[in-house]
Amino acid sequence: MGLSKVDICNHALLKIGADTISSLDTASNTTEATIQSAKFCNVLFDQALEEVLRMHKWNNAMRRVKLTRLTEAPAFKWKYNYLVPTDCIRIINLYETTDAYDDQTSWVVEGRNILTDYETAFLSYVSKPQDVSTLNSFVTQCVIQNLAIKLAVPMQLDQGMQNNLLQEFNSVILPQAKSIDAQENKWWDMEESNTLLSIYNTSPIV
């Protein structure tokens, strides 16, 4: 198992030299310093997590689902209206069949809905886990660093510390996590194009 929500918060607090907590419940913390730590972690944790999840197509946060088509169609342009799952943080692609073939059919996101001309729709997306301990160690490290970045100024009033954490995140931690994550895949979802079709067809596409 990976780190819990409290563990992630404590790793971030240690990075900025702040007091660690026993719980995110402020009533469970006994000193003013730990109460402040818990308050700021409660405010900033979800934002730090969701930002990291949107930064990459993380393998162990990926989900696939058949979407529910809404009865009310879009007012114009599109034929169908689908509801985005509540745990969806980032949409990767939409398909008409379970073959997951990307045939260049268009779709758009409006609010919490997806508009398209697909009669049925299958969604590949990055989800927000209910239990953050399911995230792998590299994604967790990204969340820790991003949370520390957000905590540095309100808790320590240290803009220089925040800038150093941000530089480390962008130049080392995030690129390393993305690289390792990408190496675990042997499939690339390449969109169909006229150029590719012309390569694999005996006759030219006009």
206 residues of the chain, pLDDT tens digit each? 789 999 999 999 999 999 999 999 988 888 999 999 999 999 999 999 999 999 999 999 999 999 999 999 999 999 999 999 999 999 999 999 888 877 677 899 999 999 999 999 999 999 999 999 999 999 999 999 999 999 999 999 999 999 999 999 999 999 999 999 999 877 656 555 555 555 555 555 44
Give the predicted TM-score (pTM) of the model. 0.88
Q: What angle do CA 25, 2, 50 make, to 5 degrees?
A: 65
Give the rounded distance of the alpha carbon of 81 from its chain centre.
23
Q: Give me 62's structure tokens.
A: 């990926």
Handedness of CA 108, 114, 117, 121 (dihedral sign): positive
What count of other Cβ atoms lies within 10 Å of the Cβ of residue 162? 19
Q: What share of the chain is helix, strand, coil (3-state, %, to 5)?
A: 45, 15, 40
